[in-house]
Amino acid sequence: MKVLMVGDIVGRPGRSALSHILPKLRSELDLDFVVVNGENAAAGFGLTDDTADEILKAGANVISGGNHTFDQRDFIPSLNGEMPFLRPANYPATAPGRGHIIIGGVAVLNLQGRVYMPEGLDSPFATAETLLEEIELQSPKAILVDFHTEATSEQAAMGWYLDGRVSIVVGTHTHVPTADAKILPKGTAFVTDLGMTGPVNSIIGSKVEDVLAKFLTAMPKRLTVAENTGPLQFNSLYAELDDLSGLAKHVERIDKIISLP
């Protein structure tokens, strides 16, 4: 099985990059399954029905989320629908949406960390343990985990904790791609952070002047996506999985920079 997991889509620039690059990769690599983190797809804050549809049409099988999943209030009813949208599984059970899904024998689990993150959620490790017991009963061909958190140490800890029990663990949220893609000793493909899909000339996707204003003045400043600033980046992890065990036999980053008219 050939799987691609794509880093956080940031606003219109990220959606444009995805729409230009992902269809070609699906064809060139003969991909079987694609997970895209879409929690910043709508102007940097959450998803809308239209932006989610754009991501699915580009070739995503599942759209994962994070701490911005609920930012677009009009989208919340869609989280309870049948479309393949996820929010972190360690939110309270009373929160809208679901934290895992199985499509075509492939399970996708979305978790959010607690270190330096604003929401006080349940332990992602305990949640993973509970849900894996449930997921494993259904004998999926592969289990893919998107762990959305700030601290690279927490991302790494989750990879080692789940090594051998899931196919892939990727970190998301920081928007900074890490150069440590590898297969862990028991067979799980891992990268600390996928990075982002969005504008190159930005500060993790936002306008440079907005971010600098926050640092230089210590005053509140709503961040906006850097648009029309030049080239776009696409960050992802590609893995080939063993058909019998579901564990990784090959892993590599696929990162691209493109310029659009």
pLDDT tens digit string along 171-184? Answer: 999 999 999 999 99
Mean pLDDT of 206-224: 95
- Percentages (nearest 5) of helix, strand, coil residues in the chain: 25, 30, 45
Q: Is 175 a catalytic residue?
A: no
Check pLDDT > 90 for residue 120. Answer: no
Domain of 190, CATH number, reads: 3.60.21.10
**Token couple for 84:** 């393949």
| Under 8 Å between Cβ of 40 and 68 | yes
With CA atoms as reference, report the closest residue to 36 among 16, 17, 55.
55
- Using the predicted structure, report yes or no on whether residue 123 has a pLDDT greater than 90: yes
The confidence score (pLDDT) of residue 129 equals 98
Give the mean pLDDT of the chain: 97
Mean of pLDDT values over 237-260: 98
Residues 54, 15 contacting (CB under 8 angstroms): yes
Q: Per the residue annotation, which of 68, 100, 148, 173 is the catalytic one? A: 68
Secondary structure E strands in the chain: 2-6, 8-9, 33-37, 62-64, 100-103, 106-112, 142-148, 168-172, 182-183, 189-191, 196-199, 232-241, 248-258
From CA 96, how far away is CA 89, in angstroms rounded?
11
Q: Is the pLDDT of residue 226 over 90?
A: yes
User: Which of the four pLDDT bands, split at 50, 70 and 90, describes residue 158?
Assistant: very high
pLDDT at 261: 84
Q: Count structural domains, the chain.
A: 1
**Predicted confidence (pLDDT) at residue 124 exceeds the cutoff of 90:** yes
Residue-level pLDDT at 260: 92
Distance CA 86, CA 65 (A): 6
Rounded to whole angstroms, the Cα distance separating 62 from 145 reads 12
pLDDT at 191 over 90: yes
pLDDT digits (tens, 9 = 90+) for 6-39: 999 999 999 999 999 999 999 999 999 999 999 9
Task: Kindly report, residue by residue over 44-99, the tens digit of the pLDDT.
Answer: 999 999 999 999 999 999 999 999 999 999 999 999 999 999 999 999 999 999 99
Q: What is the pTM of this model?
A: 0.96
Q: Which domain holds residue 174?
A: 2-258
Cα Dmax for the chain: 56
To the nearest whole percent, how much of the chain has pLDDT over 90?
96
- Which band of pLDDT confidence, cut at 50, 70 and 90, is reported for residue 118? confident
Tell me how far CA of residue 31 lies from CA of 26, 27, 65, 104, 248, in angstroms.
5, 7, 21, 14, 15
